[in-house]
C-alpha cells in the first residue's frame, strides 16, 4: 500500500499499525511470528532470530510510512543500527563467512551485517542519518565493496537457511554487457543509496543509473530501443516494489515503472523536476 501511495491515515494502515507496533514491543504472543510460527514453536533461538528479522521489516515499513519520529520506531532503529555498526567496525566485516563441516560455508554466528530492510529503514529516516552520520558513511563504503561470490547458509536455531535478505557488499550482478541481471533489484538498490546520500560511493550503482538516464526521451520517459517486455524481477526482495503497473502488452505499461522510479530517485537526489 505504501508503494502505491495510499495515505497512511486510512483504516487499513491503522489496523496494521496495531499489530506491527506490538512486534516492536516485548509482547511474546506467538501469533506475532506469522508465517514463521511453526519454525519457532520449539526452538527459542530461532524464535529470537525471526522476531528480530520481523522487527527490521516493520521498522522499514514504519519509516517509509512517515513515522520516522515515532519514539518506538526510533528506539528500535537505534538498536538495529548499533548492531550493524559494531559489525562494520569489527574484523568480521572483511570476511564474515566461515567453513561449516566439510565443504559448506555459513555466516559467522556473531556477524550482524546490514539487511535490505535495515538499509531501507535508515534511508527513510533523514534525522537518524544526521545523528549517525559516521555510520552512514561506513555503510555506504561497505555497500560499494564486492560481495562474496560463494554460496553460504545462515544458522537459525536448529536449522540453516539460505539468506536472501542480507547485504554483504554490492548486490548488483552484471551480465557480459555490464548491465544488471535483475533490473528491479538494481533500481531498488539505487533508490536506497539515494535516500542515504551515498549513491556516489557505489560505482556500479552510478553506472547503472547513468545507463537508464541515457534512455530517457525529451519528456523524461524511459524509452529504450526494442523494449519488448517489462523487466522481470528475479529476487524476492522486490516483491513489494515491482511492478506497480501490470504489463498489459502496451508500450506505456512497460515504461511506467522505471520512469516512475527514475523520477523518485531524482527527487531523493534533490534534482529539479518539471512535469508536463
Domain residue limits, the chain: 11-161, 183-268
Least trusted range by pLDDT, from 43-52, 97-106, 142-151? 97-106
Question: What's the whole-number average pLDDT of the chain?
Answer: 92
Residues 22, 29: contact at Cβ < 8 Å? yes
Is 176 a residue whose pLDDT tops 90?
Answer: no
Cell of 96: 564474515
SS (H, E, C) the chain: CCCCCCCCCCHHHHHHHHHHHHHHCCCCCHHHHHHHHHHHCCCHHHHHHHHHHHHHHHHHHHHHCCCCCCHHHHHHHHHHHHHHHHHHHCHHHHCCEEEECCCEEEECCCCCCCEHHHHHHHHCCHHHHHHCHHHHHHHHHHCCCECCCCCCEEEECCEEECCCCECCCECCCECCCCCECCHHHHHHHHHHHHHHCCHHHCHHHHHHHHHHHCCECCCCCECCCCCCCCCCCCCHHHCCCCCCCCCCCCHHHHHHHHHHHHHHHHHHCCCCCCCC
**Using CA atoms, how far apart are residues 35 and 37, in angstroms rounded to an integer?**
6
- 219-232: pLDDT as tens digits: 899 999 888 889 99
Q: Taking Cα atoms as reference points, which of 185, 164, 159, 167 lies closest to residue 96?
A: 167
Residue 173 backbone phi and psi in degrees, to 5 = -105, 125
CA atoms of 165 and 170, how far apart (whole Å): 13
pLDDT given at position 268: 94
pLDDT in tens, 183-230: 999 999 999 999 999 999 999 999 999 999 999 998 899 999 888 889
pLDDT interval class at 246 (50, 70, 90): confident
The distance from CA 191 to its chain's CA centroid, rounded to whole angstroms, is 9
- Say if CB 76 and CB 55 are below 8 A apart: yes
Question: Per-residue pLDDT for 22 more than 70?
Answer: yes
Cβ neighbors of 56 (< 8 A, separation 6 or more) are: 80, 115, 117, 118, 121
Give the pLDDT score at 168: 97
Residue 257: which of 272, 238, 276, 236 has the closest Cα?
A: 238
Burial of 190 (0-12, 13-18, 19+ CB in 10 A): buried
| Cβ atoms < 10 Å from Cβ of 171 | 20
Q: At 240, list the grid cell.
A: 513489494
Phi-psi sector, 169: left (phi>0), alpha (psi -120 to 50), beta: left
Q: Quote the pTM value.
A: 0.93
- What's the grid cell of residue 257? 515503472
For residue 249, is pLDDT > 90? no
Amino acid at each position: 500500500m505504501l508503494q502505491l501511495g495510499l495515505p497512511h491515515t486510512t483504516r487499513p494502515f491503522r489496523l496494521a499499525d496495531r499489530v506491527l507496533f506490538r512486534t516492536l514491543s516485548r509482547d511474546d504472543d506467538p501469533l506475532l511470528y506469522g508465517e514463521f510460527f511453526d519454525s519457532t514453536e520449539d526452538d527459542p533461538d530461532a524464535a529470537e532470530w525471526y522476531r528480530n528479522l520481523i522487527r527490521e521489516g516493520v521498522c522499514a515499513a514504519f519509516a517509509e510510512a512517515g513515522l520516522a519520529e515515532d519514539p518506538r520506531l526510533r528506539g528500535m532503529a537505534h538498536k538495529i543500527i548499533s548492531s550493524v555498526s559494531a559489525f562494520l567496525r569489527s574484523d568480521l566485516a572483511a570476511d564474515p563467512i566461515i567453513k561449516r563441516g566439510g565443504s559448506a560455508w555459513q555466516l559467522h554466528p556473531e556477524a550482524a551485517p546490514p539487511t535490505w530492510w535495515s538499509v531501507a529503514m535508515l534511508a527513510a529516516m533523514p534525522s537518524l542519518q544526521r545523528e549517525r552520520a559516521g555510520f552512514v558513511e561506513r555503510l555506504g563504503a561497505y555497500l560499494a565493496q564486492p560481495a562474496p561470490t560463494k554460496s553460504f547458509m545462515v544458522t537459525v536455531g536448529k536449522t540453516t537457511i539460505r539468506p536472501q535478505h542480507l547485504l554483504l557488499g554490492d548486490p548488483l550482478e552484471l551480465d557480459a554487457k555490464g548491465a544488471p541481471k535483475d533490473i528491479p533489484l538494481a533500481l531498488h538498490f539505487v533508490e536506497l543509496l539515494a535516500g542515504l546520500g551515498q549513491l556516489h560511493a557505489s560505482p556500479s550503482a552510478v553506472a547503472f543509473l547513468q545507463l537508464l538516464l541515457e534512455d530517457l526521451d525529451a519528456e523524461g520517459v524511459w524509452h529504450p530501443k526494442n523494449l519488448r517486455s517489462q523487466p522481470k524481477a528475479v529476487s524476492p526482495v522486490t516483491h513489494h516494489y515491482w511492478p506497480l503497473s501490470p504489463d498489459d502488452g502496451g508500450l506505456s505499461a512497460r515504461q511506467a515503472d522505471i520512469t516512475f522510479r527514475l523520477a523518485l530517485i531524482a527527487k531523493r537526489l534533490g534534482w529539479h523536476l518539471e512535469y508536463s
